[in-house]
Amino acid sequence: MWTKIIEKFSKFPAQEKVIRLLIERGFQVNSKGKVVSGSIEIPHTQIAKEVGVDRRVVDATAELVLSDDVLKKVLQNIKSVAFLRDVAPALDLGVIVITPTDAREKGILGNVATIVAKHGVSIRQAITDDPYFTDDPKLTIITDTKVPGTLVDALMKISSVKSVTVY
């Protein structure tokens, strides 16, 4: 699906930067063509500055989103989530970052969750990068406790796991 969305911007590389940012951050385009997070409006100048384009590119991207039924449906309904990875240590939570050998392979999350549960560790959050949208997708697991070394060893035995990083 993301590939089809990005293809719509293939002739407009500056707009592609904008749409990637909107999707990555879970920003919406409302019916007035404004970029928002919930009901909070995000100035187009700020988005332009973030991706290194002119504000008019953000305006044009929003217009294109509203003129396309698929883009409109996606960008008016996408949501962002509170990702706990960077605050987990301050909350005494564990963080496991899995780099898969092939993120498109089925069952990676299920296999990881099964091993985590067998080690008596509870998962508080699981976030996966979309392999069709991200160049180096990861699976990030936030656990209710620090991660024991035996769990890391067990995760490394999963054939679809290339590496495991613990914070």
The string of pLDDT tens digits covering residues 128-153 is 998 877 889 999 999 999 999 999 99
Which residue type sits at 92? D
One domain for residues 33 and 94: no
Domain count, the chain: 2
141 neighbors 95 (Cβ within 8 angstroms): yes
One domain for residues 157 and 99: yes
Residues with Cβ within 8 Å of residue 109, at least 6 apart in sequence: 126, 128, 139
Res 73 pLDDT > 80? yes
Average pLDDT of the chain is 94
pLDDT of residue 113: 98
Residue 130 domain-assigned (yes or no): yes
Which CATH number fits the domain that encloses residue 130? Answer: 3.30.70.260
Tens digit of each residue's pLDDT (9 = 90 or more) over 21-66: 999 899 999 999 999 999 999 999 999 999 999 999 999 999 999 9
One domain for residues 138 and 158: yes
One domain for residues 14 and 61: yes
pTM of full prediction above 0.85? no
Residue 73 domain-assigned (yes or no): yes
Structural domain span for residue 46:
9-77
Strand order across the 28-29 sheet: 28-29, 35-37, 40-41
Q: How confident is the model at residue 18 (pLDDT cuts 50, 70, 90)?
A: very high
Residue 35 domain-assigned (yes or no): yes
Res 97 pLDDT > 80? yes
pLDDT of residue 1: 66
Runs of H (alpha helix) within 11-133: 13-25, 44-51, 55-67, 69-77, 108-118
Residue 15 domain-assigned (yes or no): yes
One domain for residues 96 and 143: yes
Residue 22 domain-assigned (yes or no): yes
> HSE of 80 in the Cβ direction (CA atoms, 13 Å)?
16
Res 110 pLDDT > 70? yes
